[in-house]
Chain A
């Protein structure tokens, strides 16, 4: 820059370099201003949106001693929330939660548990999906991105919990917060539409269970040692279904 000024202005060196310095100063000032604007924009943006973060890991704690055999409040709550028609053909209807009655062959002890997607840390459905539609969010929620799902049902084969359903027929009257459609696989979403918009919201199954005065389902952040779910797990303990598979499930059962 200095050389070009020298060449152009010949002997008038001091004034030329002064102009150049002034131009450079102005340029730098403008650059700084642009940077400040860009920075404030990014700041605003960060404040405006909250993405799912790996600081949290959402999970469910299910107390089987509080869950009663004849009750299906959680299933009904889930169906209502997501617009699932339970009256459809039992072979093809969607089931996000199934109530399972268990009897211990040795002792005859009976228990009843809701089984839904276990939101595994190392989820087999995510491993096998050929399109990446089956995925795990940063906060541990395992979902199907129905925009990329091709309906191959490989994930249904891979899931040890039989947690996923395929939609065989055209659906109508879907809920605005729960888009569902023919040709895609779906399963429990831990009610992401509720928990994303308000951190104090609970999944529909947990709310229904509490409304029924059972309070067998506790929802919360497994990463937070002060959350209800972590305290429960610490005091009474909880086991995984098929713990031998080492999937590190997000749904834990007490009393199985």
Chain B
């Protein structure tokens, strides 16, 4: 009995050591920085969690109501976040290791946007779209503000819960 216990005590830490490096090395996906601009249309933690809600709300407004030039547009995401290769040519944002792909592969979430939408930036449109996208409160719609607000509330609630 005591031998078995000793064996178990030996094996358990050994097994843990085998498994641990996988976690120890895992610092999350390597996300390339934005090519243009130093400020996104919303805070990073909001964008990480809520980008699809924000994109979807604005998508409906644009397609159905014809409201354009709003901050949360997929075209603007690509314009700022698509990287250039060594020759200065833009790389598809869903290519391996690029902005969208790196995180989505890590999270195992399939991106369905770029079967229809352009994955390359607009030609000569980067600066113009950046100026349009500066986060001025008045350019956010009620729905977008609601999404951001609910995120902040949820984030704070989970934070408070963790502290307890």
Q: Which residues of A contact B (CB under 8 A)?
A: 41, 44-45, 47-52, 135, 137-139, 141, 143, 145-147, 170-171, 173-177, 179-182, 184, 192-193, 196-197
Contact = CB atoms under 8 A, between A and B. Distances in A.
A207 to B, nearest CB: 18
B139 A179 contact: no
A176 B64 contact: no
Interface residues on B, range: 20 to 34
Interface in B57-75: 59, 61, 63-70, 75
A5 to B, nearest CB: 35
A173 B142 CA distance: 34
Contact of B59 (A49, A138, A147, A184): A147
A45 B140 CA distance: 8
Given A47-B138, A48-B139, A176-B122, A145 B63 contact: yes
B36 to A, nearest CB: 15
16 contacts: A41-B138, A45-B138, A49-B61, A51-B66, A52-B66, A137-B64, A139-B66, A173-B120, A176-B117, A176-B121, A177-B122, A179-B116, A179-B118, A184-B116, A193-B68, A197-B68
A49 B132 CA distance: 12
A138 B138 contact: no
A149 to B, nearest CB: 10
Residue picked from A182, A196, A197, most chain B C-beta under 10 Å: A196
B141 interface: yes
Contacts of B139: 48
Contacts of B120: 173, 176
B49 to A, nearest CB: 21
B116 A174 contact: yes
Contacts of A170: 115
B63 A49 contact: no
Nearest to A193: B68
B78 interface: yes
Contacts of A171: 115-116
B64 A145 contact: yes
B90 to A, nearest CB: 11
Contact of A48 (B66, B75, B138): B138
A125 B35 CA distance: 43
Nearest to B136: A48
Contacts of A49: 61, 67, 69-70, 141
A129 to B, nearest CB: 14
Contacts of B65: 51-52, 137-138
A147 B63 contact: yes
The 9 closest A-B pairs by CB, nearest first: A181-B116, A52-B66, A44-B138, A51-B65, A176-B118, A179-B116, A179-B117, A176-B122, A196-B68
Residue picked from B61, B63, B78, B122, most chain A C-beta under 10 Å: B63
Interface string B38-49: 000000000000
Given A51-B61, A176-B117, A176-B122, 6 more contacts: A41-B137, A45-B138, A47-B138, A179-B118, A184-B116, A196-B68
Contacts of B75: 176-177
A178 to B, nearest CB: 8
A146 B115 CA distance: 12
A175 B118 CA distance: 6
A176 B129 CA distance: 12
